Structure 1
Amino acid sequence: MQVTELLAEGLKREYRVVLPAAELDAKANERLAEMKDKVRLNGFRPGKVPVAHLKRMYGKSVLAEVIDQAVNDANSKIVEENGFKLALQPKVELPQDEEAVKEVIEGKADLSYTVGLEVLPKIELGDFKSIALDKPVLAVTDEEVGEMVNRIAEGNRPYAAKEDVAANGDRVTVSFVGTLDGEKFEGGSGEDVQVVIGSNTFIPGFEEQLIGIKADETRTVNVTFPENYQAANLAGKAASFEVTAQMVEVPSEMTLDDEFAKTLGMDSLDALKEQVKSRIAQEHNAQSRAKVKRKLLDALDGLHQFEVPPTLAEQEFEGIWNSVTTEMEQQKRSFEDEGTTEEAARADYKKIADRRVRLGLVLAEIGEKNNIQVSEDEVTRAVVERARQFPGQEQQVWEFYRQNAQALASLRAPIFEEKVVDFLIELAKVNEVPVTREELYAEDEADKAA
């Protein structure tokens, strides 16, 4: 085998490899000799088929298999001898000229091909003990617990049928058909929808116009969608709804006591409050960790600046860009609506893609150097948790992940990342900072970009 380096530019390498015809022919003869004891041909006793006869019958197909294996072995040898870690699979370019290919297959000419490699950079890890992180902490207050319990109670408040017209606080069961400029629109119709007047859960102005309605009455409700409405095609637009009331109900009295808690499956009101407090604490802790992780990734990005494999960065960018443009098309928004241009947006998202790839490589290197691994039990628990998200299809989901290595890797990756983050937080200097709820849940521009 003869190897000539053609390119060594950044993280890209290219080599010309020549595999002599004599070597390929010798390997093909070895393979044919192995076949002699296995092949059954009419007119020959088992194990007595001449190699020359096998070569006439199977020579070309065997040589093609040998060439495929030889190319893989040659590429692996180049990678091993140079100590490369590959970012992607080698890109092999075999001869395209039909006559040249024919001569190689017939064993009359050496095989000459080029192989392109994109390698991972050598990463010098920084001093993680030098990282200082502020961890926002927020204790759960009795007021928070009380507000949550009250919301739970309101969501479970009983209602009784009412013969009179609807008033503020009443619940009205309605069916409606919405139109824009006289035309029905997607998502504008509903059947047996319960509306609590004054709850502010519907489009502004919708609930108030139901005051005074009675069962079996139909009326037109005119509203204007908010400018920041999630469906961009409806934002700021005026719509009309033909609304028919099927039932009007008045809220019944309800007492927050142990009996109420028991209707929710709890032993007592105190037990309900403890569960609510625990849930709020989990939400605070998750939000706090998300902010600490963001600061940790910023610190890692500052400690590790190196060239990232261009193809990996491009693939990451394409994934981000496709997601962004698809969402903008669905919302019928343009870059001008976002206060930027397509060129500027591309530049910004390329920076984000580079950062993601760089941080991914750093986290992988940290995990490898510190023997951080994801156990099979952890992956299995992740598969079970994912399957539970699809009631009635658990078995299909389970089989999908167990038979799809790439899908399984998509579950393993975030577990690995969180374990590396835990490892780094243990090494960093973490300073707990008391914050308000508004500060803890505030979303800054960096969080949005992340």
Structure 2
Amino acid sequence: MDITQEKIDDLNSVLTIKINQQDYQAKVEKAIKEQAKKAKLPGFRPGMVPPAHIKKMYGKSILVDEINHLLSDSLNNYITENKLEVLGQPLPKTDDEKQFNWDFTEDYEFNYELGLAPDFTLDFSAADVIPQYVIKIDDETLQERIKNIRKSYGKMTNPDVSSAEDVLYSELVQLSPDGSVFEGGITNTTSVRIDQVTDEEVKSSLIGLKKGDVVNFDINKAFNNDVAKIAALLKIDEETASDLKSDFNLTVKNVNRLEESDLNQEFYDKVFGPDVVHNEEEFTAKIKEEQEAMMAQDAERKLQDELYQFVLSKVNFELPDEFLKRWLKATNEKLSEQELEDGYNDFAKNLKWTLVENKIIKDNNIEIKYEEVFQAAKQRLDAQFRMYSPQALTEEQLGQYTVQFLQDKENANRIFEEVKALRVFDYLKTVITLDKKEIENSEFKKLE
């Protein structure tokens, strides 16, 4: 066997693999004999089918299989031994017009295109500066959060007259263009939250209503043509909701108001557990601490995005774009030309980041251990379980679920890549200067 590489340029090359009869003959004969031992054919006892008969019937397909195995092994070994950093996978050259007889005596030649990873350097230092935001909660957001928590532990009342934060338990009846009730139209009894109405004129018409009051309700105007919200409110499908042009009669069945819980020890204990918080000052401080902890996660995501964008702006290398596009098409048969063109830039950007990650990992001897992947997966599962159950899993149960989760190769690879990215970000933070800036959350949101 003879393998040669012809470099087209720094990013593209062609591998030529020449296979002669001596390379494959023994493998093919062995495969034929093994097939003969296993074959069950009419007129022959099991295991007694002559190899010549198998060769006559299935010889060519066995030859093709063995040649393909030989090609695959040869390609992989050559790439490994020559330490070629390839992108995607080798592609058979489609412009070859070779025709083979597959007659057990022929010599074969195959050509494969390779896309090669570019050679590049990374040049980061303390002279590079990235903003690192420390988010402080503003008083308006803090008070809104406190209000929502107090309401979630509060009690329902039924005031005589509606206000802007009430819920109207109402019957909605579809109207004809002339304002009369549309016979056979849509009707539904539902709860309308006044604070979710986006149009101020419509919202104003719902304030000051009493039980039994009837008002005209322009549902599209009320929710700014939000099809999903209108469909949910009327219990209809979104396609019907998108075509809906009618107004509705809204008849108030009841006015519901969620009163805020009193600030007392019973309330504090319900929210935080026994004897954690004892007064309003401690309660406010605890809520502020929890909110800023959540905002710290937002700040970290922002920092990672800043690092990502900055690093990609600093590295300057090309990719074998035409090869990669052919490879994407070859491995995604349903991918249209338009989809390929629309999505290629994002693909190339992510590939460049992966190459940068790998270089940082390699150049700095960063080792990612299984325990790190295990703990990351464990934290992910713990957070998911807590979303659906207030009762936390035991460490033993969580560990068992994590082991099962990581047995799925796709899950394990995804968590590994997440851990790798975090380790790369941690490295970049030690090299690039982080300029800490305090900012209120209302201003931080404007940056996103």
Same fold (TM over 0.5): yes
The 3-state SS of whatever aligns with 1:358 is helix
Question: In 2, are the aligned partners of 1:166 and 1:214 still within 8 Å (CA)?
Answer: yes
> Which of 203, 211, 231 does residue 215 from structure 1 map onto?
211
Structure 1 residues 109 and 177, CA gap change in structure 2 (3 angstroms): farther
Q: Which residue of 2 aligns with 1:261?
A: 268
Question: In 1, are the aligned partners of 2:136 and 2:440 still within 8 Å (CA)?
Answer: no
Measured in 2, the distance between the counterparts of 1:223 and 1:34 equals: 74
> Which of 104, 107, 116 does residue 107 from structure 1 map onto?
104
**1:197-346 → structure 2 map (5 Å cutoff):** 197=194, 199=195, 202-222=198-218, 225=221, 240-249=247-256, 252=259, 254-264=261-271, 266-267=273-274, 268=277, 270=279, 272-310=283-321
Q: Which residue of 1 aligns with 2:128?
A: 131
Structure 1 residues 168 and 117, CA gap change in structure 2 (3 angstroms): closer
The TM-score with structure 2 as length reference comes to: 0.71
1:61-80 deviations in Å (ceiling 9; x for gaps): 43233111111122124323
1:374-409 deviations in Å (ceiling 9; x for gaps): 6341354266258638959x99x9999667533543
Query: Residue 107 of structure 1: CA displacement?
Result: 0.7
Structure 1 residues 86 and 5, CA gap change in structure 2 (3 angstroms): closer
Moved more, 377-386 or 411-420: 377-386
Question: Aligned letter for 1:388?
Answer: F
The 3-state SS of whatever aligns with 2:89 is coil
Question: Aligned letter for 2:358?
Answer: A
1:353-373 deviations in Å (ceiling 9; x for gaps): 543332222023212433242
Measured in 1, the distance between the counterparts of 2:175 and 2:386 equals: 35
Q: Which residue of 2 aligns with 1:367?
A: 361
Structure 1 residues 222 and 108, CA gap change in structure 2 (3 angstroms): same
**1:34-49 → structure 2 map (5 Å cutoff):** none
The 3-state SS of whatever aligns with 2:202 is coil
The TM-score with structure 1 as length reference comes to: 0.70
Structure 1 residues 111 and 84, CA gap change in structure 2 (3 angstroms): same
Question: In 2, are the aligned partners of 1:175 and 1:243 still within 8 Å (CA)?
Answer: yes
Structure 1 residues 28 and 379, CA gap change in structure 2 (3 angstroms): farther
Measured in 1, the distance between the counterparts of 2:320 and 2:4 equals: 22
The 3-state SS of whatever aligns with 2:87 is coil
Question: In 2, are the aligned partners of 1:128 and 1:424 still within 8 Å (CA)?
Answer: no
| Structure 2: gaps of 5 or more residues | 229-238, 390-396
Question: Aligned letter for 2:294?
Answer: E
CA RMSD in angstroms comes to 4.8
Query: Residue 286 of structure 1: CA displacement?
Result: 1.9
Question: Aligned letter for 1:245?
Answer: V
| Structure 1: gaps of 5 or more residues | 327-345
> Which of 401, 406, 422 does residue 410 from structure 2 map onto?
406
The 3-state SS of whatever aligns with 2:63 is helix
Q: Which residue of 2 aligns with 1:430?
A: 434
Measured in 2, the distance between the counterparts of 1:5 and 1:193 equals: 71
Q: Give the percent of matched residue pairs that are identical in Structure 1 and Structure 2.
A: 17
Measured in 2, the distance between the counterparts of 1:136 and 1:26 equals: 67
Measured in 2, the distance between the counterparts of 1:117 and 1:189 equals: 64
Measured in 2, the distance between the counterparts of 1:260 and 1:115 equals: 71
Question: In 2, are the aligned partners of 1:215 and 1:248 still within 8 Å (CA)?
Answer: yes
The 3-state SS of whatever aligns with 2:254 is strand
Q: Which residue of 2 aligns with 1:332?
A: none
Measured in 2, the distance between the counterparts of 1:129 and 1:215 equals: 67
Structure 1 residues 433 and 230, CA gap change in structure 2 (3 angstroms): farther
**Does residue 158 in structure 1 map to residue 152 in structure 2?**
no
> Which of 358, 370, 374 does residue 377 from structure 1 map onto?
374
The 3-state SS of whatever aligns with 2:216 is strand
Measured in 2, the distance between the counterparts of 1:137 and 1:359 equals: 26
Query: Residue 218 of structure 1: CA displacement?
Result: 3.9
